[in-house]
Amino acid sequence: MGSALTNLLAFIAAISILVAVHEYGHYIVGRWTGMKVLRFSIGFGKPLWKRVSGPDQTEYCISAIPLGGYVRFLDSREADIAPEDDGRAFDQRPIPARIAVLLAGPAFNFIFAIAAYWILMSGGVMMLKPAVGSVTPDSFAADAGLVFGDRIVAVGDTETNEWESTLVAILGEMVDDGRVPLTLEDDNGRSRLATIDVGDEKTRLTEPGVLFDGLGFVPWQPPAVIGVLPDDGAASAAGLQVGDHITAIDGQAVATFNDLRAIVSPRPGETVDIVYVRDNAAETISVTLGERDVDGQKHGLLGVALSEESSEYYYRRTYGPVESFRAAAVKTWSSTVFTVQMLSRMVTGDVSMKNISGPINIAQFAGESAQRGMSYFIGFLAVVSISLGVLNLLPVPVLDGGQIVYQLIEAVKGGPMTERAQILGQQVGIFALLLLMSFAFYNDIARILG
C-alpha cells in the first residue's frame, strides 16, 4: 500500500470527484425542474472557499470535511418563501420533479462509471485468460481434480474469457449452494467438467482476500522467466540473459512477472540484488534499475519482458468508439447488478459482512491505484462510483432512496407524511448508517491489525 500521505491525498481527490459528480446530478436536474438552489457544497462544515453567483445568488462552497457534500434547495418547511420565489421550493414542485432530482445523484454516478470505463476501453484492454495456477494438495480445488494450466472455459452456464468475469461467476455460483461447476480445458484442448464443493465454508470464503486460498488454487500468472531482453535495458547491461528465471529481488520473493513489476516499479534508479536461476544453478547479480515516466510519475524499469510461452494466456481486446461505449455500459450494468447481489447476500448471511469497507481501506486502495498510474485510478473511481450510486438508492430515510420512498408515499396518500413520521424515519436512518459505519470501521481496523 502507498504512504499515508499518498493515501490521504488520493482519498480526498477520489471522494471530492465522486461527490461533485453526485451532487451535480441533484443540482442540475433541480435547476432544470424549476427549483431554487441555495447552496452547492463539496464537503461538510465550515467553508474553506465560497463564491456566490447566478441569478439565484447560489453559494458554491468547498468545505472543511471532505467526506461528502450536499445541495440545499429552497424549502418552505425550513423558512418562509419570498413572494417572487413562490412555487420554486423543493416541496412545492410536483412529485415527479422531486423524484427526478433525487434519482439524478445516483444516476450521475452510474453515468460517470460508464464514461470512465469508456475512456479505459477506448485504448484497448489487456486481458488474462482464466487459467489455474498452482493447486494446494488436499484442498477443495484438488478434490475437484483441478491441475496447473487448466483453462476455465465456463463457470456454470457463464462462458468466461478473462479473470474479472470469471471471479464474479465463481462468487455467484458459490454463494448459491456452495458448489462451483466448471468447464475446463487442458493443454491438449480436451474439455471436462469439474465441481468445486465448499459446503458450509461458502460464507467464510467470501471474506476479502480469502477466496483463492480457501478454494486451494491461485490464478495462473506467468513466471518471471526472461523472454525478451532489449540491448539498452538495465537487465541486459548487468548480464542477465534470455531464459533466466528471476526468483528474488532484494530479499523479496518473486513468483510471477506481476511480483517482479510490483517490486521494481516503485524503485526507479535504485541498485538491487537479483537472485536468478540459470542452468539449474542459483546466482545473484546487482542491477541498477532504469526508469520511465508514466502519467507524470517515475517508475522503475528492469528491461525484461514475458517469455514467449506466456503470450498465449494474454490477449488485447480492442474496441471501436461505439463498441467501447456499449462495452462500458454493459460493464457498468453488470458491476451494478453484482454489487446489489452481494449487498442482498450480506443481509441473508450468505456473504461475509467483512466486505464492507470504511474510509481507511478505501484510502489505501485509492493510494495504491494512484501510484500504479492514471488508468488504475480511473478504474478505481468507476468501481467506487457504482458503489456510491447503489448505496444511495437504498430505502434508508437519510439517503436518496429513502427520500424517494417518502415522495411515493405522499403521492399515494395525497399529502406529505406527518412530521412525527418523518422524524422517526430520520432517526431510524441515522441509526442504520451509524451501524453500517461501525461495521466499516471495525473491518478497517481488523484488516490493519490482522
Q: Where are the beta strands (DSSP E) in 98-256?
A: 125-128, 132-135, 151-155, 158-159, 179-185, 191-197, 217-219, 245-249, 252-253
Q: Which three cell numbers stand for residue 327?
A: 462495452
Q: Looking at this protein, which amino acid is placed at residue 257?
A: F
- In the block, which residue shows the cell 471495525? 442
**Which among 66, 56, 52 is positioned nearest to 9, based on CA atoms?**
66
11 in the Ramachandran plot: left (φ > 0), alpha (ψ -120 to 50) or beta?
alpha
Q: ∠ CA(370), CA(371), CA(372), 5° rounding?
A: 90
Kind plus residue range of the DSSP H or E element containing 442: helix 419-449
CB atoms within 10 A of CB 387: 19
Catalytic residue selected from 23, 162, 164, 185 = 23
Please confirm, yes or no, whether 23 is among the known catalytic residues. Answer: yes
E strands in 190-295:
191-197, 217-219, 245-249, 252-253, 271-278, 281-288, 290-294
Q: How many helices (H) and strands (E) does the chain have?
A: 12, 16
**Which residue bears the cell 453567483?**
53
Q: Cα separations (Å) of 421 from 138, 184, 413, 428?
A: 57, 56, 14, 11
Q: Give the phi and the psi of residue 51 in degrees, each rounded to 5.
A: -140, 135
CA distance 153 to 122: 26
Q: Helices marked H in 200-273 — which ranges? A: 211-215, 234-238, 257-264
* C-alpha closest to that of 421 among 440, 405, 437: 405
Catalytic residues: 23
